[in-house]
Structure 1
Amino acid sequence: MIALQQTKEINTTSIIDSVKSDYCGAIDVFIGTVRDNLVGKKVTKLFFEAYETMAVSELQKIADTVKEKYKADKVSIVHAIGDCEVGEIAVVIAVSTPHRKASFEACEYAIDTLKDTVPIWKREYFEDGSHWVFSHP
């Protein structure tokens, strides 16, 4: 499952279920949530915008690389777009591999690569204003 999702609630159970495999003994899941602070400032929400066609393509490339590099059987990546309130899930990555170490490493690779290469932009909202974060391409 590779997707951008505009709904408020990302269903983590369905994402985990999508990577279950009798071949694999490990499933690792990364869940990124909206925290309430950044460098001493109170965060009120985040807004995510994406170049959707390219973002989905880049997410698929990450999944394909994870399958090859970490011998993952299944990979799911779902990222929210639109408004995300404090405490809500912004991204979920799930990976199944035959052994645990590869699953942990694959999830870390996937989130780090997503942040570096996928055209998803984030606007952070604070009590006194907002700004765009330009750490993405």
Structure 2
Amino acid sequence: MEKVNKIKDIFVNGAISPDKIAKSIANHSGKTAIGAHSIFLGQIRADEKDGKSVVSMEYTAYRDMALEKAREIREEAFSKYDLTCLHIYHSLGEVKVGEICLFVFTSSPHRKAAITACNELVERIKSDLPIWGKEVLDDDSEQWKVNR
């Protein structure tokens, strides 16, 4: 019987809660082949734009394409690195300054694979997934965020 790779939903409505992050970490304590985890948390900054402050980000995505691309990136990471687990969560909708909008979590028997894979995944997510963020400023104006 052929294994079917189900597309995992990476999206979370609003901010990614500290409880979700803690629970994800705790769920791996029984997986005793894991020797290392690497975690990236993306947080909304209060950037200054022409004398105005960012108060939140509003995320949108071309959902079906983003989920398919995330599945491809995930499969490539598993084939390239000795990973035990890999989780990606990205916010959709409003995320306020100080809140978490991206959570990437890799696990491996050894630290180098977990760290390298996590870093590569973050870069691929930022460059390859059709997800856009609109900065909401303290005067209620908005502007599209440009990734650097």
TM, length-normalised to structure 1: 0.87
1:132 aligns with 144
1:22 corresponds to 2:23: no
1:26-105 → structure 2 map (5 Å cutoff): 26-38=36-48, 41-105=52-116
* 1:52 partner letter: R
1:113 corresponds to 2:124: yes
Contact 2:16–2:103 at 8 Å: present in 1 too? no
Give the length in aligned residue pairs. Answer: 136
Q: Which has the larger radius of gyration?
A: 2
* 1:24 partner letter: I
> Can you list the C-alpha shifts for 1:23-79, whole angstroms capped at 9, x where unaligned?
220011111111111567521100100111111121122221111111111100000
Q: Deviation at 1:9?
A: 3.9
1:9 and 1:112 map into 2 onto residues whose CA distance is 19
1:18 and 1:52 map into 2 onto residues whose CA distance is 27
Flag the 1:19–1:66 CA change in 2: closer, same or farther, 3 A. Answer: farther
TM, length-normalised to structure 2: 0.81
2:10 aligns with 3
1:83 and 1:23 map into 2 onto residues whose CA distance is 37
Secondary structure of the 1:81 match is: strand
Secondary structure of the 1:30 match is: strand
Secondary structure of the 1:28 match is: strand
The unaligned stretches of length 5 or more in structure 2 are: 1-7
Q: Alignment RMSD, CA only?
A: 2.2
1:13 and 1:109 map into 2 onto residues whose CA distance is 23
- Out of 73-82 and 33-42, give the one that drifted further: 33-42
Q: Deviation at 1:17?
A: 3.9
> Can you list the C-alpha shifts for 1:82-133, whole angstroms capped at 9, x where unaligned?
0000111101000001111111111110010001111111101122422113
